Amino acid sequence: MKNERQIHIEYMKKIAVLTSGGDAPGMNAAIRAVVRTAVYHGCEAVGVFQGYQGLIDGDFKRLHVRSVAKILGRGGTILKSARCEEFRSVEGRRNAHQALLEHEVDALVVIGGNGTFEGAMHFSKETGFPVIGLPGTIDNDLSGSDFTIGFDTATNTVVEAVDKIRDTADSHNRLFFVEVMGRDSGFIALHSGIATGAVAVMTPESGISIEDLVGILNNGQASNKTSSIVIVAEGHPEGGAFEIAKKVHAIDNKYETRITVLGHLQRGGDPSCADRVLASRLGVAAVEGLLSGKRNVMAGVVNDRLVYFPFEEVIENKSASLEDEVRIAKILSI
Ligand code: F6P
């Protein structure tokens, strides 16, 4: 008698994989895991280049076990990535479906963030094509996984940079505003802020007004702080580091202030051990999930357990889960 996985393996012969949205360290480790797990289970693996654009254009290439050798520890994505306007339309998604059918692909693994899953959700609803997602974004803003692939590496990069900035801030008794990525969520800012002892972390979640910030800085100075680092999340409603520094200056200009915008250096670099392991685990979960009949879900790890959540649920904002970090950052920065 055939078990469930055997039945799916029989019809699932070709699995495609793509990366979409902003690249994230660990995407290559995930691609490698998808390809090797597919081959391990007797399927053919196909790489789609340039994200959803490549899906529409039929930019496909067969990947073998050795095609993904020595990429485990490399940043970026060998499949390239893109944000694709065309895939936002029904017609674009229809063309992508057509290309998959022409190449006789049976299922698709998409690795990306919010925008990627929004596209995947519409695509799978409209076409019924089997899709599984993996959370690949430095922003960590997806529900359905405690951590996303790339977040650990990016946060460590920020911590390394801020530690260096601290040397100068301390030597010159300066106030630094450091702007970090995260689109509209404060995971990178709050985690790196806690890890570097920032005097304040300005994120959409932390609810610190400019007046509050001036008060925090003055209290710090009154209690003999010699240097202050304020981490600013790029998506802060008051603006980025430049705007917030300007607004602070307009109220109180006694600080010698400098600004650093870390920008895209946060997205590059070799993935950390945690990201390589997470990506490998999820890559296996994507293929084995498809083979056991899972569809239109994202694989994630919650409380160290493998879970699968529907796309509609994972794109929900998970900023509420930052409540604890907001409190910790506040308590420890006195
Ligand atoms: O989603 C990842 C991310 O790095 C965000 O943190 C940032 O807002 C955005 O991508 C930047 O996008 P781009 O590389 O297209 O400028």
Atom of ligand 1 nearest to the CA of 183: 8
Which of the four pLDDT bands, split at 50, 70 and 90, describes residue 109? very high
Contact 47, 79 (CB under 8 A): yes
CATH topology (fold) of 4-150+271-316: Rossmann fold (3.40.50)
Set 139, 141, 152, 275: catalytic member: 139
Note the pLDDT of residue 320.
78
CA trace torsion 285, 286, 290, 294 (10° rounding): 80
Q: Tell me what the pLDDT averaged over the chain comes to.
A: 95
Tell me if residue 239 falls in helix, strand or coil: coil
* pLDDT, tens digit (0-9, with 9 covering 90-100), for 229-261: 999 999 899 999 999 999 999 999 999 999 999
Name, in order, each residue with C-beta under 8 angstroms of 224's C-beta and a sequence gap of 6 or more: none
Which residues are paired to 2 by β-bridges?
Answer: none
Note the pLDDT of residue 319.
80
The top-level CATH class assigned to 151-267 is: alpha beta
Note the pLDDT of residue 318.
83
Closest CA to 23 of 121, 143, 148: 148
| Helices and strands counted in the chain (H then E) | 12, 11
Q: Whose CA is nearest to atom 14 of ligand 1?
A: 22
CA 198 to chain centre: 23
Distance CA 16, CA 20 (A): 13
Contact 80, 50 (CB under 8 A): yes
| pLDDT (mean) for 163-187 | 96
Note the pLDDT of residue 330.
95
CA 47 to chain centre: 20
Note the pLDDT of residue 2.
59
Atom of ligand 1 nearest to the CA of 182: 6
Note the pLDDT of residue 184.
85
Phi/psi at 175 (nearest 5 deg)?
-105, 125
The amino acid sitting at 165 is I
Which of the four pLDDT bands, split at 50, 70 and 90, describes residue 11? confident
Note the pLDDT of residue 171.
96
Distance CA 288, CA 276 (A): 18
Note the pLDDT of residue 7.
57
Contact 261, 275 (CB under 8 A): no
For residue 22, how far is its CA from the centre of ligand 1 (angstroms)?
Answer: 6
CA 243 to chain centre: 25
Tell me if residue 45 falls in helix, strand or coil: strand
Note the pLDDT of residue 4.
58
Residue 139 annotated in active site = yes
Q: Whose CA is nearest to atom 6 of ligand 1?
A: 182
Residues with CB under 6 Å of ligand 1 are 21-22, 113, 137-139, 181-183, 234, 267
Which of the four pLDDT bands, split at 50, 70 and 90, describes residue 329? very high
Q: Say yes or no: do domains 4-150+271-316 and 151-267 share a fold.
A: yes
* pLDDT, tens digit (0-9, with 9 covering 90-100), for 180-237: 999 989 999 999 999 999 999 999 999 999 999 999 999 999 999 989 999 999 989 9
pLDDT at 1 over 70: no
Contact 145, 297 (CB under 8 A): no
The ranges assigned to domains in the chain are 4-150+271-316, 151-267
Q: Per mean pLDDT, which of 2-11, 103-112, 310-319 is the most reliable? A: 103-112
pLDDT at 178 over 60: yes
Distance CA 34, CA 68 (A): 10
| pTM for this model (two decimals) | 0.96
